[in-house]
Amino acid sequence: MSALPSANNPILCPALFISAPGSNHGKTTVTAALARWHRDQGRKVRVFKTGPDFLDPTILERACGSTVYQLDLWLMGAAECRRLLHEAAQDADLILIEGVMGLFDGEPCSADLAELFKLPVVAVVDVAGVAQTLGAIAYGLAHYRPGFPLIGVLANGVASPRHEEMLRQGMPHGIDYLGSMPRNLQFKLPERHLGLVPAAEVADLDQRIAAAAAAIGQTELSELSRLPAPVEFAAIDPQEHPSTPKLIPLLQGQRIAIARDAAFSFIYPGNLDLLRQLGAQLTYFSPLQDARLPPADSVYLPGGYPELHLQELQNNAAMKQALHDHCAAGKPLYAECGGLLYLLESLTDKNGARARMLGILSGRAVMQRRLQGLGYQTIPFVEGAMRCHTFHYSTTVTAMAAAFTGERLYDTSAGERVYRSRGVTATYLHACFASSPQATAALFTGKIAVPEPAGDEDTSA
């Protein structure tokens, strides 16, 4: 983490929190449209995404032109969220935060984050099949918690002027109708099984965002086309967080090669920041296209969509050999989710197509048509508990014993397994490195302390 600012210098910056009654109401489209509209007016816009999402931030980054960080009260903690917001407020003209799922879904939920930082909330509501009942939805969101800072609703997907007239008729006193987005497929963002399609894969993304931004700029949306009221963003108070550790450069001089391409793209910007702050030098490579690794002391294989690139991964024999050589030399390798699938002997997609993967770890993986794993978990590393999240559609079959098992936040059932084989550590879990810098350093130096495993066969989701 960067040096802590003084606790006595709160900064004022206009800000909005964009939420909804649930998923698929258009939060990302509206947030991206607002970001692009204000950016086109010459303003510097910083955007954040609530929760552990990898995909929405790629769209939001294209809209605002700057890195989009996650804000997650459980994964990162309130102090780190506060630090990121205070840092952004120092040079931004506007801060936008997109919520996750519905406003009150989960523990902690979007509403908790908005209330903690006193952020005004706009609810985006998909009004297909809805008319005056929009007022009841708005009333419920505003009054579910006493004093909740909901400033109004934005109707998304309005079919006609008459439709909008009925929507307005139902609005209760004291909750503003902030305008509407028309029902227009030109705004719609494509999806696949893990959520939105990443920005790099949407050829006309800029045109879609520009069209949505133009709608935001119309007279009907003048309330949102202007800057909102400023919000006070305070720095971390050392008296409230006296135990915030000063980072020791535990990875000083370490060269970490990170897989980054269309198959492996699920990387938190905050994780990269933490590695740099620990002293690591980061380089990148493509398992799809490159024939060799850059010079590296350790390798990071993040999650992504290896199942969509089976033949390219199978056929890149040079890269497969380079990774085998890296591991044979006893150098550390850390893999998450899609990275774990790549390490196994084979991967089968949901249509039954099968391809040979690296075979560095024994076992096979098969994509399923239904979600197989979801939720927050903690890995109880000896060096420190690592907070993580899992979200995957594949299952694995392997005889490998688990070195660790994730501890679910809200469930007593067994969590995801963490496998260790010489210097390789692999799991379905996506880690938040800032939750345990010491464990992070151990992962990339190969010095994770592992208890004696129990040898059992695993069929895991």
- State the catalytic residues: 337
Report the C-alpha gap between 10 and 361 in whole angstroms: 50
Is residue 282 within 8 A of residue 276, CB to CB? The reply is: yes
- Taking CB atoms within 8 Å and a gap of at least 24, the contacts of 190-196 are 193/393, 194/55, 194/305, 194/391, 194/393, 195/53, 195/55, 195/56, 196/28, 196/55, 196/56, 196/58, 196/59
Structure tokens at 386: 């690592």
Q: Are strands 11-19 and 230-233 parallel, antiparallel or unpaired?
A: antiparallel
Crossing angle of helices 205-216 and 56-64, in 10° steps, is 70
Q: Are strands 430-431 and 384-392 parallel, antiparallel or unpaired?
A: antiparallel
Structure tokens at 403: 């070195």
Report the C-alpha gap between 202 and 169 in whole angstroms: 38
Report the C-alpha gap between 405 and 168 in whole angstroms: 52
